[in-house]
Structure 1
Amino acid sequence: MKIYAAMASAALILAPPASAQDMSVFRTGPVFTDFGPHAPVEGIGEVPADTEFSVAFDVAEGAEDGKRNRAIESAARFINMHVAHGVPEENLRIEVVVHGKAVLDLLGPEGWAAHGKEGDNPSAAMIRQMLDHGVRFIVCGQSSAAQGVSEAELIAGTETALSAMTAFALLQQRGYTVNPF
């Protein structure tokens, strides 16, 4: 029995991590060239050009120290991959509802410094580019209050709602689906 346990332990140690991924096929663009990587998928053809998406992304987890917020980048990936597969950019209505600790990833330079963070906000340039492309960022007012973030500290162009719950309810009434990642 001990030999089987030793073999199982050795197999676990030598096996590649389950989370190991081959990212070599992923590319950015065509909308965002510095972020939002996606992979081509063979055999599916293009998504019909008259396809329209109204999608709200739910972002609650903050970024890892020194990195961009991955959940926010998922919204950029959604845009890149669908435009790359034939959906006109103007047919994509994307809203990012930010709550919890992720509110800190929407801090502008003064707010970033005021909250004791060094350097530049790693997510700021990405968020600004997304705002320039019509992505709407809605900040949960309740989370802002809990994190001690004032509206003046946020990246220009973001909007504040009473709560994330309120924002999602209103977006769903307008026909948006909720993407939980």
Structure 2
Amino acid sequence: MRTIITIALALAAAPLAAQDMSAFKPGPVLEGFGAHAPVPGVDQLPVDSEFAIAFDVATPAPEGGVNRGFDSAARFLNMHVAHGVPQDNIRLVVVVHGKAALELLSDEAHAANPLSRQGDNPSRALVEALLEADVRFVLCGQSAAVYGIKPENLIPGVEMSLSAMTAHALLQQRGFTVNPF
């Protein structure tokens, strides 16, 4: 039985080991984040393309890494600008709730919060880069209450809403769609 389990695990891991990530590069908007790859047969998108996308992020980053949901927003921005969509035609909002809320803390607040992994916030530089690129971050106020987060604990520029549900409802009324990735 142990042999069968070992073989099954090895077969499941083989496709992961075979992934070729060499074509993935960051930029052109965020040089350190949001790696994307060219797609054969897909060149420029129409310059009049417009996007209003909300990303829902509740899953925290792996130990010592950046939040994958935050990086998905960076990837979306980079790949669409790289394919001809003007950055001004892309409106992105990252709605954060659950334990991912701790990744919106300043380094000082992150280190002091007993529920965080302590030390500097590994997602801070990514959040700051996205904010600088006019990506909004909206924190669920209910999650903030659960984790003892006050507005002054947040990375400057992060907004707070009554709840993630409220933020999504308001964004939907303003024409935003939710990106499931």
With the length of structure 1 as denominator, give the TM-score of the two structures.
0.91
Match of 1:112 among 110, 113, 123: 110
**Corresponding position of 1:67:** 65
Match of 1:17 among 2, 14, 17: 14
Specify every segment of 5 or more residues in structure 1 that has no aligned partner in the other structure, as ranges. Answer: none
Shift of 1:118: 3.6
1:44-88 CA-partner distances (Å, limit 9, x unpaired): 221101100000000001111110001111000000000011101
Match of 1:42 among 40, 43, 54: 40
For the 8 Å contact 2:111–2:121, the answer to whether it is kept is no
Cα pair distance change 1:52/1:14, threshold 3 Å: closer
What is the correspondence of 1:88-167 to structure 2 with a 5 Å cutoff?
88-116=86-114, 117-167=117-167
With the length of structure 2 as denominator, give the TM-score of the two structures.
0.91
Larger of the two Rg values belongs to structure: 1
Aligned equivalents of 2:15, 2:38: Cα separation in 1? 22
Aligned equivalents of 2:12, 2:175: Cα separation in 1? 45
2:167 corresponds to which letter in structure 1? A
1:120-178 CA-partner distances (Å, limit 9, x unpaired): 21100111111011000000000111111111111010000000000000000000000
Q: What secondary structure is seen at the aligned counterpart in 2 of 1:93?
A: strand
Specify every segment of 5 or more residues in structure 2 that has no aligned partner in the other structure, as ranges. Answer: none
Cα pair distance change 1:175/1:118, threshold 3 Å: same
Question: What CA RMSD, in Å, does the superposition of the two structures yield over aligned residues?
Answer: 2.1
Count of aligned residue pairs for this structure pair: 178
Aligned equivalents of 1:15, 1:154: Cα separation in 2? 40
Q: What secondary structure is seen at the aligned counterpart in 2 of 1:17?
A: helix
1:93-121 CA-partner distances (Å, limit 9, x unpaired): 00000000000010102211211444321
Shift of 1:9: 6.0
Identity across matched positions, percent = 56
